[in-house]
Chains A and B, each alone.
Chain A
Amino acid sequence: MILMRIGRLFGALLLGLLAQMIVLPDLLAPWRPLWLPLLVGYAVMSDPDLPIMFIGFLYGLATDVLLGAPLGEHALALVGLGYLLLRLRATLVLMPLWQIALVLCPVWTLYEFALFWLDGLARHPADPMLRWGPAAATTVAWPLVVTTLDTLRMRRRVQRRLRARI
């Protein structure tokens, strides 16, 4: 059972990685949501028993390789994000969706800042203004993603229970 859940998380993050890598028009590219942190955040909220930080670490390494970033940069940022969200989880689950979205906005910003800082350490300075668009886009995308994934999960759970009853 837990292996199935881990597999689902792996698949979801793979889709997230694809969404992160996909080529967007120049106008939209700075406003691409942070798909991997978004899905890691959702996993922390919905299924914190999984080894989220470790899987996030692996996907961070894959992102580094694919983006040509210093190895460990995204891994470090994703592990830090996972840890922070696991710590905040107990408080966040009590809030309504829109409040969680607002509270998470500084978390995404922090994630972006960590990347910006590590880029600076690796002497690969990027335009800092391009860093804040994704954080804003992720804040907007959070309620939509959570609603969509929750709906999918609910439907599947109902089907499973119905099947069990039959």
Chain B
Amino acid sequence: MTPLSDRHRPPLFPRGPGIGLRAFLLIAIAIGLLVLQQRSAPLQAARQWAATALQPLIWAVGVPANIGDAWHRYVDRGNVLGENRQLREKQLILEAQLQKLAALEAENERLRGLLSSAVSLQQRVLVAEILTVSQDPYRHQIVLNKGSADGVYRGQALVDSFGVLGQVIEINPHNSVALLITDPNHGIPVEINRTGLQTIALGRGDGFGLSLPYLPGNADVKVGDLIVSSGLGGRFPAGYPVGEIHELRHNAGETFMEAIAYPSAHINQGRQALLVWSESSGEQLPSAEPAPAPAATPSSRKKARPHQ
């Protein structure tokens, strides 16, 4: 016998509505709610209110799951400790590597400078590292770590973040030799930025000067004028700064006026240079060896192979 019945004493004279009527009323209300809820806005509001009121219940229901998560976290603690140890060791190694950051940052700064000058001109470029600088005081050459394997071609222009550095005169599979604009064998077609006057800038061979020997005597040139590459001849891209006029020389009895300029590029400074593809690529250009006519200078006339 079940103990369920030991408490109940049915009332001898029941009062109030019977269970049938009560059940009927409640079922009628439930059916009314089922029918009305789609159309009744107050019922929707009441439902939302009830949902808000029952929010603690939803929170309470989530408690076991949270406890389970906490337990899992506790169990995972061992793994986390091991991982932590590994990470500490890794961090030590990374910290050691980080010490190189200062040097890398400076290098990055220079590279960014190079890139920004190239981006502004929207040209194909390649960053090359300067491997060696010629020790011969009469030959201003540098060796780059990019060669024909990287698509470098003879006569390719070389710039840094401040201006034109020179051009490639010799290519090997994985390195190349460039002649700097200060080399006496080097000539570059330039224009005075202020007036657009076209001329040639030759290296003076002293390591830091350029000479513009073919200026007309009455040419509008002032000290401080910027000279930029003119792009004539197709070897150098146009618009790169080449130098700044430093001195004007009127030699008595001479038809031409000579200007002395200092190169804009930081020659013999920095470790990177930018190889620039000019509008007409190297394959279409004539070989760098024969110099175009205007590049002829007294010094280059003496030497066999001037480079424009």
Interface residues of A (CB under 8 A from B): 17-18, 21-23, 45-49, 53-54, 57, 60-62, 65-66, 70-73, 75-76, 79-80, 82-83, 86-87, 93-97, 100, 118, 121-122, 146, 150, 154
Contacts and interface: CB of A to CB of B under 8 A. Distances in A.
B223 interface: no
A47 B60 CA distance: 28
Contact of B50 (A54, A65, A80): A65
B2 A57 contact: no
Contacts of B30: 57, 60, 72-73, 75-76, 79
Nearest to A118: B34
Contacts of B61: 18, 21-23
A98 to B, nearest CB: 10
A72 B50 contact: no
A59 to B, nearest CB: 11
B26 A17 contact: no
Given A17-B57, A46-B7, A154-B3, A76 B37 contact: no
Given A21-B57, A21-B61, A83-B20, A71 B26 contact: no
B285 interface: no
Nearest to A149: B4
B22 A54 contact: yes
B64 interface: yes
Given A17-B57, A62-B54, A72-B29, 14 more contacts: A18-B60, A23-B64, A23-B65, A46-B7, A53-B23, A57-B29, A57-B30, A65-B47, A65-B50, A70-B37, A76-B34, A80-B23, A93-B8, A150-B4
Contact of B26 (A57, A86, A154): A57
Q: Interface range on chain B: under 10, 10 to 19, 20 to 34, or 35 or more?
A: 20 to 34
Contact of A95 (B2, B43, B58): B2
B4 A79 contact: no
Nearest to A61: B50
Contact of A71 (B2, B7, B33): B33
Given A47-B8, A79-B26, A72 B34 contact: yes
B8 to A, nearest CB: 6
Contacts of B149: none
22 contacts: A18-B57, A21-B58, A21-B61, A22-B64, A23-B62, A49-B8, A54-B26, A57-B26, A57-B30, A65-B54, A71-B47, A72-B32, A72-B33, A73-B34, A79-B27, A80-B23, A83-B19, A87-B19, A96-B1, A97-B2, A146-B2, A154-B3
B39 to A, nearest CB: 12
A65 B51 contact: yes
A59 B31 CA distance: 16
A35 to B, nearest CB: 13
Nearest to B48: A65
Interface of B: 1-5, 7-8, 19-20, 22-23, 26-27, 29-34, 37, 43, 47, 50-51, 54, 57-58, 60-62, 64-65
Contacts of A146: 2, 4
Contacts of A53: 19, 22-23, 26
A83 B26 CA distance: 10
B100 to A, nearest CB: 52
A93 B50 contact: no
Given A53-B26, A76-B34, A79-B23, A93 B51 contact: no
A82 B31 CA distance: 16
Nearest to B65: A23
B33 A75 contact: yes
B72 to A, nearest CB: 14
Contacts of B51: 65-66
B8 A48 contact: yes
Most buried by A among B20, B43, B58, B61: B61
A41 to B, nearest CB: 10
A46 B7 CA distance: 7
Nearest to B44: A71
A71 B34 CA distance: 6
Contacts of B7: 46-47
A18 B1 CA distance: 31
A93 B1 CA distance: 8
A82 B22 CA distance: 11
Nearest to B61: A21
Contacts of B47: 65, 71
